[in-house]
Amino acid sequence: MAIDGDLRSVSLVTTRKHRPARVLDLVRARVDEEESRTEAVPRLERRVADLLGKPAAAMFPTGTMAQQVAMRIHADRRNTKMIAFHPQCHMEVHEHKGYQLVHGLSALLVGDYHSLITVADLEAIKQPVAALLLELPQRDIGGRLPAWEELVAQVDWTREHGVASHMDGARLWEAQPYYGRSHAEIAALFDSVYVSLYKGLMGISGALLAGDAEFIEHAKIWRNRLGGNTAAAWPMALAGERGLDELLPRMPEFLVRARTLAGMLGGIPGVQVVPEPPQTPLFHVHLAAQPERVLEHAKLLAEKTGLRVFGQVRRSSNPMTCSFEITVTEQFDDVTDAEVRDFIGELMLAAG
């Protein structure tokens, strides 16, 4: 029987690859004793700005801070407090109304709760809006992406209406292979872009906000105001560079594996993969089973097999179903697709 510390995990939250000792080893391996600790952050900022084809970028401790700052600047530039985004936007669902309580902004929720935003949804907007935030991919509906032509049309709408366009690119690294276009070409559609260092790139924490030079100078001021300018950010920057060097080139590989795994899981009775096929290395797995039974039997299976596939499940309005998220990145190097398929197959026999 495996104990928790011995489990192999493909969950980004509980993977052994995020354990402190391993993270410290990764950072230590990239430390240059001749280099000042102040050099890592600006080097990473320049690299990400170049990668995204933007004049400048600024590192933030969290994406939450970075994106609220971006929305604040766009709103101030246009003297309009209303911003627009999807009903399942991270800013709406996971940040306790920080955009409203900290920055005095109001939100217009655009589109259907379970679907991607469309141009038709934007054309229905009849009030002034400072900025439109588009999340690529839309994580909470399965990591879905709009077709390239649809995305271009949505950004064209913002230009025609004097609305700033901002990309929540927390998983832009994972989205890029689907479009088959460079990160810079995708980012060029947007006035500002946020990217993460710790999801698919498996870093410690941290985010970068990219845009024009004046925008980023204002962002740095807001970073200071909010207490986000720390001299201790260099380990996050070094870990982020490791992700860019070693994991970013593997994103096409991760997408292929996600699609292979999704096809295997979709063949299990009571299992549905969303979307099918996955558009990014992130996708959702829906189970026709009660959440409590799924969690109970998943724990027993983890102890039996030494494998943890997920740490939590998403509940729905139907108490007889639940779902979980899979993101294929380097933590899958430790397991086979067959192991994950067999785990879910046995889970459904026990819990379904």
Give the lowest-confidence range in 13-17, 57-61, 83-87. 13-17
How far from 40 is each of 15, 35, 46, 203, 205, CA to CA, in Å?
Answer: 26, 9, 10, 14, 14
Binned at pLDDT 50, 70 and 90, residue 21 comes out as: confident
Closest to 206 measured CA to CA, from 84, 77, 60: 60
Token digits of residue 306: 């030494």
pLDDT confidence band for 4 (50 / 70 / 90): low
pTM over 0.75: yes
Angstrom CA distances, 282 to 100, 165, 201, 306, stand at 30, 24, 13, 23
Q: Which residues of 185-209 are buried (b: 16+ CB within 10 A; e: fewer)?
A: ebbebbbbbbbbbbbbbbbbbbbbb
CA–CA gap between residue 135 and residue 86 (Å, rounded): 8
- 240-278 pLDDT tens trace: 999 999 999 999 999 999 999 999 999 999 999 999 999
Domains of the chain: 4-18+249-351 (3.90.1150.10), 36-246 (3.40.640.10)
pLDDT of residue 3: 53
pLDDT digits (tens, 9 = 90+) for 31-68: 887 777 789 999 999 999 999 999 999 999 999 999 99
Which of 17 and 72 is assigned the larger pLDDT?
Answer: 72
Read off the pLDDT of residues 298-347 as tens digits, 9 standing for 90 and up: 999 999 999 999 999 999 999 999 999 999 999 999 999 999 999 999 99
> Mean pLDDT score of the chain, rounded to an integer?
96
190-241 pLDDT, tens digit per residue, is: 999 999 999 999 999 999 999 999 999 999 999 999 999 998 999 999 999 9
Model confidence at 7, pLDDT cuts 50, 70, 90, reads: confident
Tens-place pLDDT, residues 174-202: 999 999 999 999 999 999 999 999 999 99
